[in-house]
Structure formats: C-alpha cells, structure tokens
C-alpha cells in the first residue's frame, strides 16, 4: 500500500506570505513522516510551479519516495522535448518517476489550454495515447515515430531513463473509454470518483480490458486521487472544503463533490472513508490537502500522516481476505 501527498505548487495554496521555496522542505518532511510518494499537478490556467521543474528540484533532496505527476498534460509540451525532460527527471531521481497523464476536459481547464498550446481539440484522446507511445519509442532508442496524428523522423540519440523502457505511465479519468484504454495501454489508473462503488466497478472494467489485451491485473497499478482535510469536526471540514472549492475551482462544494472524491472531518472519519476505497481495490492513494496557505498545509501534513498506519493495515487485511 502506497500513500502519497500532492505538493501545493499553486499560488492559491501558498497564502499571501507564502514562499514556494518551502515546498522543498515540505517534500522532505513528507518523506520523513512515512509518505511513499510526492505528486504535483499541471496547468497553465492558475499560476504555479511548473510540474517537471518541481520534480527535478525534489529529486536530489529525497531518497526513496516516488515522484509523480497528477496529472501531466502532454499537449502543453512538444512530444520529443517532453520525453527528454521526463527521462532526465527519472535519471536524476534514480528511477523514481511515475507519470500520470490526462487530456483535459471541457471548460476552463480544457479547451482554452489547447488553444494556448496551438494543439487541435478534436481527437485529443488519440493524440494523448500517441504521445505516450512516442515517449516510449524515444526512451527505447527509436529514431522515428509514425502514428495517425504524430509523425516524427530523424530523432537524434536521446537521454535514456533510469529504467529500461522508461517510467510507468498512468492514466487519469473514469469514462468508459478511459477505463478501456487504461487496461490496454497504461501502467496505472489514477481517477477521483466520489463513490467507492464507482471505483470498484471502474477497476473491474480496467481489469477486463487488460485481460482482453493479454495483460494481467498486476500490470496496472490501482491508484486514487482524493482531496482531504483532517479537523476537529465534520462541520469545520466542510467549511474548509467549501473555501478550497471556490478558491481553486471557482465553484461551490456541492458541485465539485459530484465529480471528485473529497473527504473531511476528524481523523477517524477520514480514515474510515479512505478505507472504503482501499476495500474497493485502491493501492496507491494520492492525498491533496485542502488548505489555502503553507502553514495550514504543513499542519494538515502532520495530521494526515497519522492515517498512514491504519490505511496500510486495511490494505493488508483486504489482501488477506
């Protein structure tokens, strides 16, 4: 059972007096507290530290934690250049990189970014799959790539990742097509469904697709992205989630919780809710801390660390059962 934390790389999570250089110490403290992974997200909409820059900064100051993206948006970058950057981070970390990718979705977090990147919106999912296939080809020494949408020739010798074949690539998303593509093409699944039952049914669909492609369930890491806030009571937790939803997403909590997994309340309540996802099959939790300044982020990190032993115990119990 792996339990990781999302670093607060967005300015919305620093507070008025926040210093983003503190994120290095934040990551090191998370490793010391027993978290097994550090993740960052990616966007051009809100000001933030660029995802791969953040991971490159963390690589030499951490020792064992997985470094991951949740999720990287490949259409924001030239495919061959991104393959080089990812291979470099994997090398600098000694093979600890995991790359979760996504294609974006309609609204302010989707099509406007494609326009800024001068990449066509139509067939975006096919473009995502081809981009990942190109990365893998480059990591394996290919000098050309020919897909339906992407054609590259004359690729010079590129940086090879630490691991043969490159870092694992996971897919975010829970639409039926995404479940099928995850099972056939990707090394992991990182969705955020509000209901653990939907996680269980989605994971079953991923496993069916994997079997149909001649793969096993073990070829796909079952992960979960979930926003948490640990506090003294449920009402205070709801208030924190409401502030977070409106500040980060510009929408009320009642709308955000229809599409994303969010959990708040006392330690025992949060643990029980997360254990439901563990029972549903999740084996790598990526926890986003729902606060809006670095001091509160550090406080939440300490509180959430108290959940780690119980969640790992639940995973062991579920595996035995």
Q: Assign 269 to helix, strand or coil.
A: helix
Q: What residues does 146 pair with on adjacent strands?
A: 151
Q: How far apart are CA 103 and CA 73, in angstroms?
A: 6
In tens, the pLDDT along 124-150 reads 999 999 999 999 999 999 999 999 999
Q: Would you call the peptide bond into 71 cis, given omega within 30 degrees of 0 as the criterion?
A: yes
- Render 121-148 in DSSP notation, one character per residue: STTHHHHHHHHHHHHHHHHTT-SEEE-S
In tens, the pLDDT along 200-256 reads 999 999 999 999 999 999 999 999 999 999 999 989 999 999 999 999 988 999 999
Give the model's pLDDT for residue 125. 96
Give the model's pLDDT for residue 109. 65
Residue 188's nearest CA partner among 217, 160, 226 is: 217
Which distant-in-sequence residues (6+ apart) come within 8 Å of 255 by Cβ?
245
The CATH number of the structural domain formed by 2-320 is: 3.20.20.30
- Render 201-258 in DSSP notation, one character per residue: HHHHHHHHHHHHTT--GGGSEEEEEEEEEE-SSHHHHHHHHHHHIIIIISS-HHHHTT
Whether the CB-CB separation of 10 and 44 falls below 8 Å is answered with no
Give the model's pLDDT for residue 16. 81
CB atoms within 10 A of CB 225: 24
Residue 301's nearest CA partner among 104, 92, 32 is: 32
Give the model's pLDDT for residue 235. 92
Q: How far apart are CA 226 and CA 198, in angstroms?
A: 14
Q: Give the tokens for residue 90.
A: 């994997």
Q: How far apart are CA 156 and CA 87, in angstroms?
A: 15
Residues of the chain with pLDDT under 70: 107-109, 321
């Amino acid at each position: 059972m792996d339990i990781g934390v999302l670093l607060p790389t967005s300015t919305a999570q620093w507070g008025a007096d926040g210093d983003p250089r503190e994120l290095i110490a934040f990551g090191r403290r998370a490793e010391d507290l027993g978290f097994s992974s550090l993740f960052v997200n990616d966007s051009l909409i809100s000001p933030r530290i660029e995802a791969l820059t953040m991971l490159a900064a963390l690589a030499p100051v951490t020792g064992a934690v997985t470094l991951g993206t949740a999720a990287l948006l490949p259409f924001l970058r030239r495919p061959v250049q991104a393959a080089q950057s990812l291979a470099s981070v994997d090398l600098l970390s000694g093979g600890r990189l995991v790359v979760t990718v996504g294609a974006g979705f309609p609204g302010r977090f989707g099509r406007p970014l494609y326009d800024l990147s001068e990449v066509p919106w139509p067939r975006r999912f096919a473009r995502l799959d081809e981009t990942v296939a190109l990365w893998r080809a480059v990591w394996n020494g290919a000098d050309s790539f020919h897909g339906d949408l992407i054609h590259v020739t004359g690729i010079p010798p590129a940086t090879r990742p630490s691991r043969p074949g490159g870092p694992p690539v996971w897919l975010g998303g829970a639409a039926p097509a995404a479940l099928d593509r995850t099972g056939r093409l990707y090394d992991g699944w990182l969705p955020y469904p509000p209901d653990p039952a939907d996680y269980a049914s989605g994971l079953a669909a991923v496993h069916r697709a994997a079997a149909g492609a001649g793969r096993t369930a073990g070829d796909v890491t079952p992960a979960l992205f979930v926003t948490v806030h640990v506090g003294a009571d449920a009402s205070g937790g709801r208030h924190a989630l409401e502030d977070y939803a409106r500040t980060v997403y510009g929408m009320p909590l009642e709308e955000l919780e229809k599409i994303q997994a969010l959990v708040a309340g006392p330690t025992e309540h949060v643990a029980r809710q997360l254990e439901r996802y563990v029972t549903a099959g999740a084996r790598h939790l990526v926890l986003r801390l729902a606060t809006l300044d670095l001091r509160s982020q550090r406080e939440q990190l300490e509180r959430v660390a108290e959940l780690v032993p119980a969640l790992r115990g639940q995973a062991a119990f579920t595996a035995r059962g």
